[in-house]
């Protein structure tokens, strides 16, 4: 059998042509309205002012790790205590206000001091530049790459006096996990998730309030679900959760949609999150899956079931 010829992405041109209509149909069949209620993007959807959307989105994305039923109450409680305008709250926030809001806060790796840095950093940026978009665009123009722009973004947010915070709330614990600086070789899933929300849309899921960044520049928010499904669909051969893997998956998706490569992220991620496409394949689910013909694991699972 002749070896297939791959393009510059994980997909050959023929595979891209075959996969595109299947993914489009899969996306169209996703009940996005129901899934939003199980996704952290639900939090910025509560607001209409662009600055409130930015602030709530970055807070929600930064804490969106682990189980959704654990981090969602933490984000919800913080936003409720921040009042009707998260942007106004962080603009006026000082160390005393951070202590009042965050004393006793703990979520897995993060404590109150970590979150205080994020909130105070956002407040300073809004006061000085007017928006988080302006900060990101400044970094993009200065460093010329998405990775460089995100690195500059987190570095600027972390530029707050630490000693007063440590005296008020205790030492930081998971600040690098919340706001990685330096950014490093990881996929930066939650930062890229925040960018997806801000840049894409509005389409019912993503909010599309940033106008100075194009969707074509985005990188897939790579998590375990996207990584696993991407391997099954041939979007990548890589098995690690690195920036390079996210780039390879995005390059494959760009062959399907050059202008909006990450538009499939929400549907694919929730396919894994929902348990329909788990780590151990379920034959009945695979048999009903619209992507089965493009999925190496789905095809194998269904063939094995038919042989028994």
**To the nearest whole number, what is the mean pLDDT of the chain?**
94
State residue 304's pLDDT score: 87
The fraction of the chain above a pLDDT of 70, given in percent, is: 96
Asked if residue 1 has pLDDT above 50, the reply is: no
Dist CA 134 CA 273 (whole Å): 33
Task: Point out the least confidently predicted range of 6-10, 171-175, 191-195.
Answer: 6-10
State residue 202's pLDDT score: 95
Strands 106-107 and 110-111 come out as antiparallel
State residue 9's pLDDT score: 56
Asked if residue 270 has pLDDT above 50, the reply is: yes
Q: Model confidence over 106-121: pLDDT tens digits?
A: 999 999 999 999 999 9
Q: What is the mean pLDDT of residues 223-250?
A: 96
pTM of the entire predicted model: 0.94
Asked if residue 189 has pLDDT above 70, the reply is: yes
Q: What is the mean pLDDT of residues 265-287?
A: 94
Q: What is the mean pLDDT of residues 68-81?
A: 97
3-class secondary structure for the chain?
A: CCCCCCCCCCCCHHHHHHHHHHHHHHHHHCCHHHHHCCCHHHCHHHCCCHHHHHHHHHHHHHCCCCCHHHHHHHHHHHHHHCCCCHHHHHHHCCHHHHHHHHCCCEECCEEHHHHHHHHHHHHHHHHHHCCHHHHHHHHHHHHCCHHHHHHHHHHHHCCCCHHHHHHHHCCCCCHHHHCCCCCCCECCHHHHHHHHHHHCCCCCCCCCCCCCCCHHHCCCCCCHHHHHHHHHHCCCCCCCCEHHHHHHHHHHHHHHCCCCHHHHHHHHHHHHHCCCCCCCCCHHHHHHCCCHHHCHHHHHHHHHHHHC
Q: What is the mean pLDDT of residues 60-85?
A: 97
């Amino acid at each position: 059998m002749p070896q297939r010829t791959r393009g510059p992405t994980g997909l050959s041109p023929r595979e891209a042509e075959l996969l595109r209509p299947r993914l489009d149909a899969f996306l169209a069949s996703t009940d996005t309205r129901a899934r939003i209620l199980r996704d952290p993007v639900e939090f910025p959807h509560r607001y209409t002012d662009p600055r409130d959307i930015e602030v709530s989105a970055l807070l929600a994305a930064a804490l969106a790790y682990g189980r959704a039923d654990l981090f969602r109450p933490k984000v919800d409680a913080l936003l409720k205590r921040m009042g009707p305008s998260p942007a106004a709250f962080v603009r006026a926030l000082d160390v005393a206000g951070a202590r009042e809001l965050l004393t006793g806060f703990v979520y897995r790796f993060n404590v109150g001091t970590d979150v205080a840095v994020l909130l105070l950093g956002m407040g300073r940026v809004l006061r000085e530049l007017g928006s988080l978009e302006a900060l990101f665009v400044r970094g993009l123009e200065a460093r010329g790459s998405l990775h460089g722009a995100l690195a500059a973004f987190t570095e600027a947010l972390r530029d707050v006096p630490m000693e007063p915070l440590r005296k008020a709330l205790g030492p930081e614990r998971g600040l690098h996990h919340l706001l990685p600086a330096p950014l490093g070789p990881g996929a930066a899933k939650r930062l890229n998730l925040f960018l997806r929300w801000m840049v894409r849309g509005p389409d019912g899921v993503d909010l599309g309030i940033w106008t100075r960044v194009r969707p074509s520049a985005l990188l897939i928010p790579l998590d375990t679900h996207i990584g696993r499904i991407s391997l099954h669909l041939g979007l990548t051969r890589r098995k690690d959760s690195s920036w390079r893997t996210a780039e390879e998956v995005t390059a494959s998706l760009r062959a399907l949609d050059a202008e909006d490569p990450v538009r499939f992220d929400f549907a694919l991620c929730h396919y894994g999150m929902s348990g329909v496409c788990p780590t151990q394949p379920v034959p009945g689910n695979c048999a009903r899956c619209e992507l089965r013909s493009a999925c190496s694991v789905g095809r194998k699972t269904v063939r094995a079931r038919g042989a028994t």
